[in-house]
Amino acid sequence: MPVPVVVSVRPATAADAPAIREAFQRAFAAVDAGFRARTAAEWEWLYRPQAGHAAPAVVAVDEAGCVLAHYAALSLRAEFDGVALRCAQAIDSFALRGAPGGLARRGGFGACGAAWAELHFGTGPGRHAFVYGLPVERAWRVGAGLLGYELLHENLVLSAGAARETLRAAPGLEAEELAHFDERPGGYETLRTGRALRLVRDAAYLEWRYVACPSRAYRRARLVRDGRLRGFAVWRDGVYGGRRAGLVCELVTAPDDAPARAALQAWLAECSRAAGLDRLLACVAPAQPEFVADQRLGWRVERLGNPWAARSAWPRWPVRALAGRHEPSLGDTDLV
């Protein structure tokens, strides 16, 4: 008779990182022909706790310490209805195919996801009332069946030709390219106010996300007029939903500042043209006023990639209600 394999599901530790990364590479390379192996430096950048964010994870391991499954989520600062909170972006979750023992029949992804939720999901101190992600089809099915995943919204993007005449800045409004997101003039996180659900994009977060990343190159710009920050943008040459384009990772202005938005869109278009790309892709939720305003400038709606899934711990705010309040960007995902 085969010897039973003892599997334990527990919080991941720093010592688990090499084994998790090795299993992660195997799991994703088996299902994604375009998978790019993640370096140790990138893994350290993503998972090492830093000011403002962390990435708590749960693993399933056998007696030899081999990782069979993994569920993780970036813990990020957010705001909703003017209240500060923490939300989580599910990332890098997997279960190796053919994992031995009871775990394979029970489902490693579900086992680790349930353990993560017991530790980190909810409305209490240090917990995450809102969890979101863009799961692949198999993870979506398991998450919906076992972990309470619901459809947040379809993965709609706005697409525009980089050579469009409408993507031009007004005279006197030109974006300033940035090497770093410093605190002067400050206020990155105050450009968008109101009742929407969004990540807190302050200088510390933006520096970590778009400057410190060891494996991806971003271009960054801001618009300052009369000593006041009017907006900022982040661009990258990349692939999203199977399409290579100039990716608008961030484009943030006050909702009623159309000239600032136009100036930053002009800078984004120039970035794409300089890279030999003829298209821009941006994520703007249908509930945002810019969703309609940008279409008047020639942007077109497309559906690319996997839908956004989410889970909410707020009784007053189920996922279907939050769909109309969520303000995402491509940079809110780990795909760009």
DSSP-assigned letter for residue 39? P
What pLDDT sits at residue 48? 86
DSSP-assigned letter for residue 170? P
What pLDDT sits at residue 1? 43
Q: Which two tokens stand for residue 184?
A: 């002067």
DSSP state letters, 172-205 = T---EEESS--SSS--GGGSS-SS-EEE---HHH
What pLDDT sits at residue 110? 87
- Integer Cα distance of 71 and 130 in angstroms: 16
What pLDDT sits at residue 160? 93
What pLDDT sits at residue 231? 93
Q: Which two tokens stand for residue 94?
A: 């997997």
In the predicted model, residues of the chain with pLDDT beneath 50 are: 1, 3, 101-102, 104-105
Ordered domains of the chain (ranges, CATH)? 7-128 (3.40.630.30), 156-305 (3.40.630.30)
Per-residue HEC secondary structure of 249-314 comes to: EEEEECCCCHHHHHHHHHHHHHHHHHCCCCEEEECCCCCCHHHHHHHHCCCEEEECCCCEEEEECC
CB 255 within 8 A of CB 213: no
- Integer Cα distance of 247 and 30 in angstroms: 26
Element containing residue 208 per DSSP (H, E)? helix 203-210
Q: Which residue has the tokens 């085969």?
A: 2
For residue 220, give the 3-state DSSP assignment.
Answer: strand
CB 114 within 8 A of CB 106: no
What pLDDT sits at residue 330? 95
What pLDDT sits at residue 185? 65
Query: Closest Cα to residue 9, out of 102, 75, 127?
Result: 102
Q: Which residue has the tokens 């994520």?
A: 283
What pLDDT sits at residue 256? 84
What pLDDT sits at residue 67? 94
Q: Which two tokens stand for residue 93?
A: 């979750």
pLDDT digits (tens, 9 = 90+) for 15-34: 999 999 999 999 988 877 77
Determine if residue 65 is left, alpha or beta; phi over 0 gives left, psi from -120 to 50 gives alpha, anything else beta: left
CB 327 within 8 A of CB 289: no
Write b or e for each residue in 59-98: b if 16 or more Cβ atoms lie within 10 A of its Cβ, otherwise e: bbbbeeebbbbbbbbbbbbbbbeeeebbbbbbbbbbbbee
DSSP state letters, 107-119 = -HHHHHHHHHHHH
